[in-house]
Structure 1
């Protein structure tokens, strides 16, 4: 190579360097003016709603909290970010999203007899250890009048 070819190569590299410098300056200006450079990190209700609809889930806002629903099952998240991080996972199980309701206590709160619970159409129902539905005898009916308040009326 002679000196003339090297001079042309150096001039071409300077032009490329100048062009790339202008491109970098333009991209820095765009990045500086952007509110958030990565839109995936900036969670909005609209983006979360789109993600929930793809998973056939309902989404509502309740105050500052986010409510994810599926039929009559629901789960409340503290904020949009928490719901986004859960729904944006590669794999998640329905049991993780809607954990089963805990079984009620094993003793009757009125008569303290041991009971078991069965999940029926009307919700959790108490059964005694003999398999018969538990109906507490120690419970005071809520509609019974309070004897201290009842004042007898003796007509005229």
Structure 2
């Protein structure tokens, strides 16, 4: 994945508000999974804060910013979408010269391989049992009859 993250700018009556990195908290959510983000002030940009992470799956993300500023509760969520900010895009389309599979593709392939391995083991056990039954049947057929 590529670096991405939260870009937060806080103003009050048009003036940047500094020192909020301890007062505010942030989380990012993707498909029900939530991760806390550490908010840091942006160097040389009063009232600007950021948090960097590397999204490993394409799709919609939601940022939740909460805390308290001068006694006023803050609790806001921002979801990606056509009227807000772009969803995370699959990086495979822009890769060159080698296109690597995404982490989701790798996980699905690993699960499919594990399932196929289990099926192959079962087939070998069944095949082995069939071979033993076949050998016993041949042995009984070829054994001299007493009579």
* TM-score, normalised relative to structure 1: 0.19
- Counting strand residues as a fraction of each chain, which structure ranks higher? 2
Structure exhibiting the larger radius of gyration computed from Cα positions: 1
Q: Give the structure with the larger helix fraction.
A: 1
Q: Taking structure 2 as the reference length, what is the TM-score of the superposition?
A: 0.20
